[in-house]
Amino acid sequence: MDAHELITRNAAEVVTEEEIEALADDPEGKRAYVGYEPSGVLHIGHMLTANKLIDLQEAGFEVTVLLADVHAYLNDKGSFEEIRHTAERMRDQFIAYGLDESNTQFVLGSDFQLDDDYTLDLHALELETTLARAERAMAEISSGDSVKVSQAVYPLMQALDIPYLGVDIAVGGMEQRKVHMLARDVLPSIDREPPTSLHTPLIADLGTGRGKMSSSEGVTISMEDSREDIESKVNDAYCPPTADPDPTDDGVERDNPVLQVFEYHVFPRFDAVTVERPEEYGGNLKYDAYDDLEADLESGELHPADAKGALAEYLDRLIAPGRQQLAE
């Protein structure tokens, strides 16, 4: 796979295509980063952007993971001490998950975000940004109805981190896109380059196929899950036997989260996927590409129960090293 394909595969959006093409022409030594509010244990949302970081490392990029302790504090996630402690645990899990240790730099936000220069640059961005704009940028990141002043400062710090970390591509889920667009608009006002960004898709809630999978509500998968937990969550997942939209037909669009997890989590990390079936049901099926599995599920050749059995197996393989790490 060439660099451009590694960078863009499974991305929901890149901003801009021209900038990405220029990076793909000469990726060696370029730097990509993702920031995470530390939560201690990796869940499937972290794993989705981590897959993209692994792609980027394979394409020749160096990677920075920002453990955004100050951001988590501003977003009301606990005391600063607690957050610092959970940040420590995440580093080892990212490595267990498969990030290349020799080329991943982990940075704590508080290592540079409390410096004098940073603080003055932040105030300069505050002067350039309306509260309404900051609030809109946070709509899909903070859950409360009313945005606190701390949560309006949050996206400005996220924007400012990009030049401070010296990165060439900012990676995040689609819920981060408005922060990145804000960064593109306001950074030039303080003589900083607007960042190139790449956004990964949002995956639907495993149980219902509606909305987006999140750690705070609905069903998610985390590195703490046992094999049995994974089997039972995947077994209960929404997975209609055909592309038929919605059996309940209440007009709310649903995605098939089982297919999404195959597409965004399993196929990028395994060369091929084997679905085990007893001989009497046709024997094992082997897929080299996601599209073939999707087509078989939609035609009825592959039964949802068999697809789920394989999904639990491969998710378990992805999670096992992190689970082991947590147990140490």
203 binds ligand NAL per the rule CB under 6 A? no
Please, are residues 54 and 47 in contact by the beta-carbon 8 Å criterion?
no
Q: Which is nearer to ligand NAL, 184 or 254 (CB)?
A: 184
Residues 44-83 that bind ligand NAL (CB under 6 A): 66, 68, 71
158 binds ligand NAL per the rule CB under 6 A? yes
Q: How far apart are CA 51 and CA 28, in angstroms?
A: 19
Residues 164-193 that bind ligand NAL (CB under 6 A): 170, 176
Q: How far apart are CA 246 and CA 254, in angstroms?
A: 7
Please, are residues 171 and 198 in contact by the beta-carbon 8 Å criterion?
yes
41 binds ligand NAL per the rule CB under 6 A? no
43 binds ligand NAL per the rule CB under 6 A? no
> Least CB distance from residue 195 to ligand NAL, whole Å?
9
40 binds ligand NAL per the rule CB under 6 A? no
| CB burial of residue 271 (10 Å; 0-12, 13-18, 19+) | exposed
222 binds ligand NAL per the rule CB under 6 A? no
Return the residue matching tokens 């592309």: 243
Instruction: Give the number of other CB atoms < 10 A from CB of residue 174.
Output: 15
The verdict on whether residue 57 carries a ligand-binding annotation is: no
Binding segment for ligand NAL (CB under 6 A), chosen from 32-40, 51-59, 217-225, 242-250, is: 32-40
Position among 59, 141, 153, 219 found at the interface with ligand NAL (CB under 6 A): 141
The verdict on whether residue 325 carries a ligand-binding annotation is: no
Identify any residues that bridge with 171 across adjacent strands, giving them in sequence order: 198
Please, are residues 229 and 218 in contact by the beta-carbon 8 Å criterion?
no
Q: Which is nearer to ligand NAL, 36 or 314 (CB)?
A: 36
Phi/psi of residue 62, nearest 5 degrees: -100, 155
Position among 55, 62, 69, 161 found at the interface with ligand NAL (CB under 6 A): 161
**Number of residues this chain uses to bind ligand NAL (CB under 6 A):** 11
Q: Which helix (H) or strand (E) holds 225?
A: none
Please, are residues 27 and 60 in contact by the beta-carbon 8 Å criterion?
yes
The residues that touch ligand NAL, with contacts defined as CB under 6 A, are 35-37, 66, 68, 71, 141, 158, 161, 170, 176
Q: Which residues are annotated as a binding site?
A: 33, 154, 158, 161, 176, 215
